[in-house]
Structure 1
Amino acid sequence: MKCDKKDLLLYAVTDRHWLNGRTLYEVVKESLDGGVTFVQLREKTLDEETFLEEAKELQKLCREYNVPFVINDNVDIAAAMDADGVHVGQSDMEAGDVRAKLGPDKIIGVSAGTVEEAILAEKRGADYLGVGAVFPTGSKDDAIDVPHETLKAICEAVSIPVIAIGGISQQNVSELAGSGICGIAVISAIYAQKDIKKAAEDLKAATVKMVESK
């Protein structure tokens, strides 16, 4: 499965923190029903065996919806379960090394915070870039802000799709109009909401509007 720009419109990143007694499968299904176009499984605390099991279940679910499913950071798990791809940070692994490990058909996303990082990631074979944090965020303690001018400069410097991440909500997504991004990645704007399906629907509508307004 290759990465299509339109698949990156509403990119959901999972977070076990917001489950409130529900399973990850249930909340991801709700978000897919609400129109999420891409899912990234982000797990920092699970042991490998449980992680692999969970990843396989979610992969199957995403295939039913024809939505790309990637693993955060863990290239070995992504390879072991034949995920659609992986998302890595600048320091996790060079995109070229990931490509060698996963093969030519997998989606590789790379986080970038500067124009230099973005150009390098594209050169090394990234399929898309996740740029942020574009707003202050509570999901990551070390998130530094990427000014909107930098976001725009990154979009202009590379030819691969760019999505923005970090503190994005239905309230502020319109502020990203004209930056050149093709979508947004969110965690709490979907998974921390009471009605996940509705949150995804509303956010998707707002994002479509933002992407289309120049």
Structure 2
Amino acid sequence: MTLSEDARTLWQTATALARAAAAVSPPKRPLPPLLFFTDPVRTPRPWETAACLPVGAGVVFRHFGAADALETGLRLRAATQAAGVRLLVGLDADLAERIEADGVHLPKRALSAAYALSGRRPGWLLTGAAHSAATVKAARDLDALVLSPVFPAGGASGRKRVLGIDGFKAWATHAPCPIYALGGIGAGNVFDLLGSGACGIAGVDAVQTAFRP
């Protein structure tokens, strides 16, 4: 599959971040350099984007209680398996088991569930959301944290204080696990993350726009 210029920029920078972070502090298990976060409104056909992602990337399926969660989850599972992409389900561990996902992404309010999930499913990849230095410092039993928003962003992150590169670096130094950068990241500013300590990048709109059929 031929990647667009923006897709190449995002993927190449994400993999460079992953290599640099692993050289400093190897992760407990291999992590996707790039995570595509879905949203029922903003990404109505996420399986199409998932099918266009490079081998080794990841998808975080957030259904937010949508009625078609199982149907969408199964379509995502089929697309990610065919593409060699890992699939995590947001919060819903039962759905993750049902569709045979590769792990779970926990919102801030549910980070305490990581301990039980790591025991229940030791092979799962577990990530969690963080929006404050206190959350970063307190996180436990996770393979990685997703810290946001780094840049001005859309969706729910648009109401949160922007970290900027300096803020991201400062919080990342206190993290007990690798940190992804999320929020307003696109081909035009992703290079700013080089040297930030991020283990990779995550996105919604920018990833959907760059990686499309």
Give the TM-score normalised by structure 1: 0.75
SS of the residue corresponding to residue 123 of structure 2 reads: coil
1:182 — aligned with what? 199
Taking the aligned partners of 1:139 and 1:36, their CA distance within structure 2 comes to 26
Q: How does 1:1-214 map to 2 (within 5 A)?
A: 3-5=29-31, 7=32, 9-18=33-42, 23-30=45-52, 32=53, 37-47=57-67, 50-94=68-112, 95-100=114-119, 102-121=120-139, 124-140=140-156, 141-191=158-208, 193=209, 196-197=211-212
Q: 1:93 to 1:75 in 2, by over 3 A?
A: farther
SS of the residue corresponding to residue 79 of structure 1 reads: helix
List 4+ stretches of structure 1 deviating above 6 A: none
Q: 1:177 to 1:27 in 2, by over 3 A?
A: closer
1:201 — aligned with what? none
**What is the CA-CA distance between 1:97 and the residue it aligns to?**
3.3
CA contact (8 A) 2:127 2:146 kept: yes
SS of the residue corresponding to residue 185 of structure 1 reads: strand
Q: 1:90 to 1:16 in 2, by over 3 A?
A: closer
SS of the residue corresponding to residue 39 of structure 1 reads: strand
Q: What is the aligned residue count?
A: 184
Letter in 2 for 1:161: P
Gaps of 5+ in 1: 199-214
Letter in 2 for 1:196: F
> RMSD across aligned C-alpha pairs, in angstroms?
2.4
SS of the residue corresponding to residue 92 of structure 1 reads: helix
Q: 1:128 to 1:93 in 2, by over 3 A?
A: closer
Give the TM-score normalised by structure 2: 0.75
Taking the aligned partners of 1:15 and 1:117, their CA distance within structure 2 comes to 23
Taking the aligned partners of 2:59 and 2:43, their CA distance within structure 1 comes to 16
**What is the CA-CA distance between 1:152 and the residue it aligns to?**
1.2
Taking the aligned partners of 1:65 and 1:174, their CA distance within structure 2 comes to 26
Which string of whole-angstrom CA distances, capped at 9 and with x for unpartnered residues, describes residues 139-188 of structure 1? 22433322433321333223522110011111111222211102110100
Gaps of 5+ in 2: 1-27
